[in-house]
Amino acid sequence: MDAEAVIFDLDGVLVHTDRFHYLAWKKLSDEKGIYFDEEINQRLRGVSREQSLEIILERYEGEPFSPEEKKEMAAEKNGIYREYLSGMTPGDVTEEVRETLTELKKRGLCLAVGSSSKNAGFILEKTELRDFFDAVSDGTMITKTKPDPEVFLLAAKLLNKTPEKCLIVEDADAGIEAGKRGGMRTAAYGEAAKSGKADYILRHFSDLLII
C-alpha cells in the first residue's frame, strides 16, 4: 500500500463488539415493546448511540418518547452494553489482527483508531490494544458522527498526516462514506465489503499486508 497511515474503525473491525451492541439494543427494545431485528441493526453500524435510537424508533407507532425518556433509554442501553464490555479480555482480539498490526508498524506505518464510540477507550484498555496506536480519535472527541468525516480528519491531524496519505479500514457503509468525504482512501471489511463502495475489499484482515 502507498499510504503512510492506517486509521482503523473499532467496532466490527478490530473487535466484534457489534454483537454486544445488538444484544443490548435488543434487550432494551423488547423491554419497551419496540420492534428490532438484525436488519435494522445493520443500519446502526458506525452511527452514534443517540442516532441509533432514532433509527430504532422509526418503526415505533406508540406514544412518542420525550427527550428525557430517550436520554434514559440510551443510558440504559449503554449500561447493558458496558456489562458485556466489562467481560472482554485480550483474547477477544484475534491473532490475525495483532500480527497484522505488528507487521504494519514494522513497515513504518502510523496507526490510529477512528471510532464513533464513547466506549472506545474502555474497549482498547480491556483488550490491551491501545499500545498499537499512535493516536485515538473517538466519540468523546467529536460533534458529528459518521458519515461525517470529523472522526477520521481528527485522527489524521493527531497523526500529523494529510488525508490523502491515510487509508481508512471500515465495516460500515457510513464509515466508508466518511472516509471518502474526508479525502482518504478506504478499505471495506465485513459488512461494508458487500456494497462495493470502497477502494479496496479486505476478505481477511491480513489482506491489509498485500494491498
Q: Which residues bind ligand B16 (CB under 6 A)?
A: 9-12, 21, 44-49, 52, 78, 115-119, 139, 172
Decide if residue 9 touches Mg ion (CB under 5 A): yes
Burial environment of residue 30 by CB neighbours within 10 A (0 to 12, 13 to 18, 19 or more): exposed
Q: Could you tell which of ligand B16, Mg ion, none binds residue 100, using a CB distance below 5 to 8 A set by kind?
A: none
Q: Could you tell which of ligand B16, Mg ion, none binds residue 127, using a CB distance below 5 to 8 A set by kind?
A: none
- Binding window for Mg ion (CB under 5 A); candidates: 28-36, 40-48, 55-63, 192-200: 40-48
Tell me the C-alpha to C-alpha distance, in Å, between residue 13 and each of 7, 57, 72, 144.
Answer: 11, 26, 29, 21
Shortest reach from residue 58's CB to ligand B16, in Å: 15
Number of chain residues interacting with Mg ion (CB under 5 A)? 6
Q: Are 152 and 167 in contact (CB under 8 A)?
A: no
Shortest reach from residue 108's CB to ligand B16, in Å: 25
Q: Are 186 and 168 in contact (CB under 8 A)?
A: yes
Burial environment of residue 197 by CB neighbours within 10 A (0 to 12, 13 to 18, 19 or more): middle
Active site amino acids: 9, 11
Shortest reach from residue 27's CB to Mg ion, in Å: 20
Of the two residues 11 and 177, which places its CB atom closer to Mg ion in the complex? Answer: 11
C-alpha cell at 151: 472522526
Q: Could you tell which of ligand B16, Mg ion, none binds residue 116, using a CB distance below 5 to 8 A set by kind?
A: ligand B16
C-alpha cell at 75: 443510558
Neighbours of 24 (CB within 10 A): 21
Nearest to 177 by CA among 121, 129, 116: 116
Decide if residue 11 touches Mg ion (CB under 5 A): yes
Of the two residues 5 and 18, which places its CB atom closer to ligand B16 in the complex? Answer: 18
Shortest reach from residue 175's CB to Mg ion, in Å: 6
Give the interface with Mg ion as residue ranges (CB under 5 A).
9, 11-12, 46, 171-172
